[in-house]
Amino acid sequence: MNIQIFGKNKCFDTKKAQRWFKERGIKFQMIDLAQKGISRGELDSVRKAAGGLDTLIDEKSKAYASLAYLAYEEDKIQKLLEDGTLLHTPIVRNGRQATVGYCPSIWETWE
C-alpha cells in the first residue's frame, strides 16, 4: 500500500485517520493542505475516485463563501488548487482509490 493523507494539522478527523493507520502499522505520507496544497493531477485523481468535485468541498471552511458563487467547475478547481483549506479532510489516497472524510470501513478493504 502507498497511503497518502491530505489533511489539515488542526483537523480532528485528519488526526483520527493518522491514528487509525499508525495503530495498524501502515506507513503513510502526510501532506498538509494548508502549507503544501494539492497538485492538479492529484486533485483530478481524487475527484474521479471520490465521486465528483462536490464531495471534495468543505462547506464549513471559512473561505467557502469565495467558492460558493463560482458557476463553472473549472473555476472551482482552480480555487481549490489555490486554497487547500477549502477541501474536506482527510483525503486518504491509495493509488487510484481515494476517500474523503474518516472512512475506516473502506480503508479495511485496502489491507
Q: What is the mean pLDDT of the chain?
A: 88
Which domains, from first to last, does the chain contain? 3-110 (3.40.30.10)
Grid look-up 488542526 returns 10
Is residue 84 scored above 90 in pLDDT? Answer: no
Q: In this structure, which amino acid lies at residue 20?
A: W
Mean per-residue pLDDT, 75-81: 85
Q: In this structure, which amino acid lies at residue 46?
A: V
Q: DSSP character for 85?
A: G
Q: In whole angstroms, what is the distance from residue 85 CA to residue 7 CA?
A: 9
Q: Are 53 and 78 in contact (CB under 8 A)?
A: no
Q: Which of 23, 38, 30, 22 is nearest to 79 (CA)?
A: 38
Q: In this structure, what C-alpha cell is assigned to residue 31? A: 501532506
User: DSSP secondary structure string, 22-67?
Assistant: HHTT--EEEEETTTT---HHHHHHHHHHHTSSGGGB-TTSTTHHHH
Question: Per-residue pLDDT tens for 4-52?
Answer: 999 988 899 999 999 999 999 999 999 998 888 889 989 999 989 888 8
Q: In whole angstroms, what is the distance from residue 51 CA to residue 46 CA?
A: 8
Mean per-residue pLDDT, 96-101: 92
